[in-house]
Structure formats: C-alpha cells, structure tokens
Amino acid sequence: MCRSIKRLRAARGSEDAPPTPEEIEAAALQFVRKVSGFQKPAAHNAAVFDAAVADISATTERLLASLQVR
C-alpha cells in the first residue's frame, strides 16, 4: 500500500488529538493518486478524481468516528 499514508487512528491509551479534516483529506488524496496512477488528473478527469477524494474522506471520517478502541 502507499507508504505515505499515515495511520490516522490514535493508538490505544494515547492522548493524540483526533485527525483533522485536512489530514483525512490528505490521506484520501494519496490513496486516490495511488489507485488511479495519476499525481494530478487531466482536466477531463478532474471532477471524478475530486469526487473520489471527497467520498473517501467522508467514509474515513465515518469509520474513525465509529471505531471502538478497547
């Protein structure tokens, strides 16, 4: 997987702050870049590229909000 994507969930017992929306979006962008093979999409693919980043960001936020760390 893409090594530049950092773990966003804090370790158990950690007092790390939850990830910011900017950190979540950066991870989503790295994921979409890796999967698509494009660092920056061509103009005709920009809308679907940006939509994918937004979808993955939203899904990541829901996932992190729903996880139960024991």
pLDDT at residue 10 in the model: 72
Residue 3 falls inside a structural domain = no
29 inside domain = yes
How many CA atoms are closer than 13 Å to the CA of 52, on its beta-carbon side? 17
2-53 per-position pLDDT tens digit: 566 677 877 665 667 888 999 999 999 999 999 999 999 999 999 999 999 9
Q: Is residue 6 part of a domain?
A: no
The phi and psi torsions of 31 (rounded to 5 degrees) equal: -65, -45
Judge contact between 64 and 18, C-beta under 8 A: yes
Residue 47 is part of which domain span?
21-65
Report the domain count for the chain.
1
Residue 37 is assigned to a structural domain of this protein: yes
Cα distances (Å, whole numbers) of residue 68 to 12, 24, 53, 64: 10, 18, 25, 9
Domain assignment present for residue 50? The answer is yes
